[in-house]
Amino acid sequence: DAKTTQPPSMDCAEGRAANLPCNHSTISGNEYVYWYRQIHSQGPQYIIHGLKNNETNEMASLIITEDRKSSTLILPHATLRDTAVYYCIGDDNYGQNFVFGPGTRLSVLP
Amino acid sequence: GAVVSQHPSWVICKSGTSVKIECRSLDFQATTMFWYRQFPKQSLMLMATSNEGSKATYEQGVEKDKFLINHASLTLSTLTVTSAHPEDSSFYICSARDSGGAGHQPQHFGDGTRLSIL
């Protein structure tokens, strides 16, 4: 079973920030939090990952709570092309625990 | 960035034939690659872990004689669906990590192979 829980769906207005939450209260101390997204009929695309500190790259920001029980992926200015299913995954770098849950279906609306 | 290439992207074949899917890491080496399957409206399910130079590790419920995996080099893993039947129709996706990369490396995914068995 996936170690993370996410809301099944969210809507976001184009141009606004999309904040996608993830609960991972049962991940272990050495497991990183990874975010991927999957656009219809394509393979998952890596977005960002982190362990304890907040992270930012050209795609998104990742905010991890101090107790590591949850995190939020932020897409600062959502576009229509950001419509996808977003997956939050806990992983210890060996892939054995790379379990995909149902994810959050984000719909960016014009 | 790291690129994983999968081929073919789409295949349609008759029941009973065998189908080979290739997964290549184009700009990095991967001692381990992963094969997933995704049915419509469902999430990805890990099928097996492909290990370079040794036998693959299969997840519970996945038939190793049905889904043959070969990882002959550090940049290529193949999945062969033997004697395919309509219930094997699915979206097959591979992924790989950069074995030589520093720090905690993400998995990179191919664009998937849509297999349709008639």
Cα–Cα dist B87/B108, whole Å? 27
Greatest pairwise CA separation for chain A in angstroms? 40
CA dihedral A70, A28, A90, A59 (to 10 degrees): 60
Query: Long-range contacts for A81-86 (Cβ within 8 Å, ≥24 apart)?
Result: A81/A108, A82/A12, A82/A18, A82/A37, A82/A106, A82/A108, A83/A39, A83/A107, A83/A108, A84/A37, A84/A38, A84/A39, A84/A40, A84/A45, A85/A37, A85/A38, A86/A6, A86/A20, A86/A35, A86/A36, A86/A37, A86/A47
Query: Confidence class of residue A91 from pLDDT cuts 50, 70 and 90?
Result: confident
For residue B55 the two structure tokens come to 């036998």
pLDDT tier, A3 (very low <50, low <70, confident <90, very high otherwise): confident
SS3 of A7, please?
Answer: coil
Round the average pLDDT of chain A to a whole number and report it.
91
Q: Which residue, among B107, B115, B116, would best test binding to A if mutated, counting the most A CBs under 10 Å from its CB?
A: B107
Predicted pLDDT of residue A94: 61
pLDDT in tens, B86-97: 999 999 999 998
Please say if the pLDDT value at position A84 is more than 80. Answer: yes
Distance CA A43, CA B36 (A): 10
Report whether pLDDT(A97) > 60.
no
pLDDT over 70 at A93, yes or no: no
* A95 vs B contacts (CB less than 8 Å): 32, 34, 49, 95, 97, 107
Nearest chain A residue to B110, by CA: A43
Cβ of A100 within 8 Å of Cβ of B43? The answer is: yes
Residues A25-49 pLDDT 10s: 888 888 899 999 999 889 999 999 9
Asked whether the beta carbons of residue A45 and residue B109 sit closer than 8 angstroms, the reply is yes
**Is the CB of residue B114 less than 8 Å away from at least one CB of chain A?**
yes
